[in-house]
C-alpha cells in the first residue's frame, strides 16, 4: 500500500513539473525567435533578411517540439508569416513587410501563451 501511495504522489508531482519544464522550453524557443523578429521590425531601412532567416532557423529547429504541444496550424502560421515577410522584404515592399513581421510576432506570441500552465490544467 505504501508503494502505491508513493508512486501516486510521484506521478502527481511529475505532471506539474513536466508542465513547468515544457513551459520553460516553449518560452525559450519563442523568445529566441521573437528577438530576431523584433530586430528586423525595429530597422526602418532596408529589410534585415538575415534576422528573418535566423528566426526561421530557430522556428525550424523548434517545430518538432511545438507540434507536440500546439496544433500544426499554429506552428505553420508562424512559419508562413515569416516566409511571407521574407518574400516581401526581398521585393522591397516595406509597408507589407512590416505588417507581415507584426503578424509573425502575433503568431509567435499565441504559441508562447498556448500552453501556459494554470492550476486548473494541472489538477
pTM reported for the whole predicted model: 0.79
**Any domain includes 122:** no
CATH number of the domain encompassing residue 106: 1.20.120.660
Element (H, E) at 21: helix 2-42
Q: How confident is the model at residue 7 (pLDDT cuts 50, 70, 90)?
A: confident
pLDDT in tens, 65-123: 887 778 888 889 999 999 999 999 998 888 899 999 999 999 999 988 876 555 554 45
Does residue 60 or residue 19 have the better pLDDT?
A: 60
**Any domain includes 62:** yes
Measure the CA–CA gap between 118 and 12, rounded to whole angstroms. 15
**Any domain includes 35:** yes
Give the range of the structural domain holding residue 56, as residue numbers without chain letter. Answer: 26-115
| Distance in Å from the first CA to the final CA of the chain | 23
Cell numbers of 43, please? 530597422
**Any domain includes 63:** yes
**Any domain includes 90:** yes
pLDDT of residue 31: 92
pLDDT of residue 23: 77
Number of domains in the chain: 1
Q: In 3-state terms, what secondary structure has residue 34? A: helix
**Any domain includes 52:** yes
- The answer to whether the CB of 97 falls within 8 A of the CB of 89 is yes
Amino acid at each position: 500500500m505504501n508503494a502505491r501511495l508513493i508512486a501516486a504522489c510521484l506521478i502527481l508531482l511529475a505532471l506539474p513539473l513536466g508542465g513547468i519544464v515544457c513551459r520553460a522550453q516553449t518560452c525559450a524557443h519563442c523568445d529566441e525567435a521573437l528577438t530576431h523578429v523584433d530586430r528586423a521590425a525595429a530597422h526602418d531601412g532596408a529589410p534585415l533578411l538575415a534576422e528573418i532567416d535566423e528566426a526561421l532557423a530557430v522556428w525550424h529547429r523548434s517545430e518538432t517540439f511545438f507540434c507536440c504541444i500546439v496544433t500544426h496550424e499554429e506552428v505553420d502560421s508562424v512559419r508562413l508569416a515569416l516566409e511571407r515577410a521574407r518574400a516581401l522584404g526581398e521585393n522591397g515592399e516595406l509597408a507589407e513587410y512590416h505588417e507581415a513581421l507584426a503578424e509573425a510576432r502575433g503568431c509567435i506570441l499565441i504559441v508562447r501563451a498556448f500552453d501556459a500552465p494554470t492550476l486548473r490544467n494541472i489538477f
